[in-house]
Amino acid sequence: MSLGLGHGARRASRILLLLFVAGLSSVGAAGAQESDAQETGAAWAIAIHGGAGTARRETMDAERERAYRDKLTEALLAGKKVLESGGSSVDAVEAAIRLLEDSPLFNAGKGAVFTHDGKNELDSSIMDGATLEAGAVAGVHHVKNPISLARRVMEDSPHVLFAGQGAEEFALEQGIELVPESYFWTERAWRSLQSRLEAEQRADAGADGAEANGANADVPSSRYFGTVGAVALDTQGNLAAGTSTGGMTNKQFGRIGDSPIIGAGTYADNRACAVSATGHGEFFIRNAVAYDICARVRYLGSSIDEAADVLVMEVLVELEAGGGVIALDPAGNAAMPFNTSAMLRGYLRAGGEPEVAIFKD
Ligand code: ASP
């Protein structure tokens, strides 16, 4: 398991984890890998993220940091409640994400960022690693908890992805809670849009070309902060993953990012891993990031740490694409690499205490 520690520390924590697993083992002589996978069959684990970005410890005030940490802990405990009582990984992922969606602190649900036109367009997806079934919604304006609608798409429709008005009609049909658009207004997200628009105006006036951020221009990764995601392993050995976001501040023309795209922002397969991503979505789509991590685990036999590192610290870094992932393997080991200065994240497994981190500590 890794909360984004250095390789040495990560290896050490992996060893501790194996010792913990071996301690539970009645078959002491099995190889490390084997006992890791077998002996956690009855255990559970959950990892969550609250987005990656350029926040720095020096500039984050203590109150805000405390609020993030408390909410992440609460989300881990919501997942624990489900998993400890034998609930499914899909239930745990939904419960953890709903809690984060209801908080104004994150760019998902209540705290979703604004589009160029001053609207909130929410995207979400969920995947069941036992069946490879998946559901997703994109560009919804009135759905309080998009993750729950994504789940309905997975379970109550023969389709995978519903967008815009159709998704909202489906929500109505399913009795999913709808809210007026004003529900999503938060001062923080609004101010962030205003500063983007002002920067655009300055760029148009030629005053500050570097700040231009039209559809194709590079954007600072501080924009990404706040997307939420969860991956979980239940006591049946089933993995699940989910992601929810308001996308990127100032996004235009019905832009959809990676979060509702299965294989890009979300993927789960019991044979390999569960992944939820956050960052500059276009790059995650082009590189099928979530799927590629699982494919590396499945076909190359890579560990979850190795597979996630290749994508986040090599492939994306080479493309100058900011972001990170949380990934869980079938034994409950987590990898949480990110190539930005911060990623809100947390991990909890059976018998453990919630671990929450923000910076590279
Ligand atoms: N990946 C999201 C998107 O591109 C943004 C984020 O993770 O913050 O829409």
Q: Which two tokens stand for residue 83?
A: 């998993």
CA-closest residue to ligand 1 atom 4 = 281
245 lines ligand 1 (CB under 6 A): yes
pLDDT for 7 beyond 70: no
Looking at residue 220, what is its pLDDT? 40
Q: How far is residue 159's CA from residue 327's CA, in Å, rounded to a whole number? A: 25
Query: What percent of the chain is predicted at pLDDT more than 90?
Result: 78
Looking at residue 38, what is its pLDDT? 39
- Kindly compute the dihedral angle of the four CA atoms of residues 261, 157, 273, 147, in this order, to the nearest 10 degrees: 70
135: CA distance to ligand 1 center in Å?
Answer: 18
pLDDT band at 35 (very low <50, low <70, confident <90, very high): very low
Average pLDDT over residues 26-48: 50
Exposure of 149 in the CB half-sphere (CA atoms within 13 A): 34
Looking at residue 269, what is its pLDDT? 98
pLDDT for 27 beyond 50: no
pLDDT for 128 beyond 60: yes
Q: Establish whether 227 is a catalytic residue.
A: yes
Looking at residue 207, what is its pLDDT? 56
Ligand 1 atom nearest residue 255's Cα: 9
257 lines ligand 1 (CB under 6 A): yes
Looking at residue 3, what is its pLDDT? 62
Site to probe by mutation for ligand 1, drawn from 222, 248, 312 as the one with most ligand atoms within 8 Å of Cβ, is 248
pLDDT for 218 beyond 50: no
Looking at residue 204, what is its pLDDT? 83
**Residue-by-residue DSSP string for 68-100:** HHHHHHHHHHHHHHHHHTT--HHHHHHHHHHHH
Average pLDDT over residues 165-184: 98
279: CA distance to ligand 1 center in Å?
Answer: 5
pLDDT for 335 beyond 80: yes
Looking at residue 238, what is its pLDDT? 98
If we measure between CA atoms, which residue out of 334, 192, 342 comes closest to residue 278? 342
Looking at residue 26, what is its pLDDT? 26
Looking at residue 212, what is its pLDDT? 39
Per DSSP, helices labelled H in 102-163 are 146-156
Looking at residue 209, what is its pLDDT? 44
Max CA separation in the chain (angstroms): 71
36: CA distance to ligand 1 center in Å?
Answer: 33
Average pLDDT over residues 116-140: 98
User: What is the chain's mean pLDDT, rounded?
Assistant: 87
pLDDT for 239 beyond 70: yes
55: CA distance to ligand 1 center in Å?
Answer: 15
259 lines ligand 1 (CB under 6 A): yes
Looking at residue 100, what is its pLDDT? 98
pLDDT band at 203 (very low <50, low <70, confident <90, very high): confident
pLDDT for 41 beyond 70: no
Could you report the per-residue pLDDT of 66-102, keeping only the tens digit for each? Answer: 999 999 999 999 999 999 999 999 999 999 999 999 9
Q: How far is residue 15's CA from residue 38's CA, in Å, rounded to a whole number? A: 16
* Catalytic site residue from 186, 227, 235, 243: 227
Looking at residue 361, what is its pLDDT? 72
pLDDT band at 223 (very low <50, low <70, confident <90, very high): low
CA-closest residue to ligand 1 atom 7 = 278
256: CA distance to ligand 1 center in Å?
Answer: 9
Q: By the 8 A CB rule, do 345 and 49 touch?
A: yes
pLDDT for 55 beyond 80: yes
248 lines ligand 1 (CB under 6 A): yes
279 lines ligand 1 (CB under 6 A): yes
Looking at residue 15, what is its pLDDT? 32
CA-closest residue to ligand 1 atom 8 = 224
Q: How far is residue 340's CA from residue 321's CA, in Å, rounded to a whole number? A: 9
pLDDT band at 111 (very low <50, low <70, confident <90, very high): very high
4 lines ligand 1 (CB under 6 A): no
Site to probe by mutation for ligand 1, drawn from 48, 101, 224, 340 as the one with most ligand atoms within 8 Å of Cβ, is 224
Site to probe by mutation for ligand 1, drawn from 259, 283, 316, 344 as the one with most ligand atoms within 8 Å of Cβ, is 259
Q: How far is residue 107's CA from residue 67's CA, in Å, rounded to a whole number? A: 15
278 lines ligand 1 (CB under 6 A): yes
Name all contacts of 101-106 with Cβ < 8 Å and 24+ positions apart. Answer: 101/144, 101/145, 101/146, 101/147, 101/228, 101/244, 102/144, 102/145, 103/71, 104/186, 104/188, 105/50, 105/67, 105/68, 105/71, 105/226, 106/50, 106/51, 106/71, 106/226, 106/227, 106/228
User: pTM to 2 decimals?
Assistant: 0.87
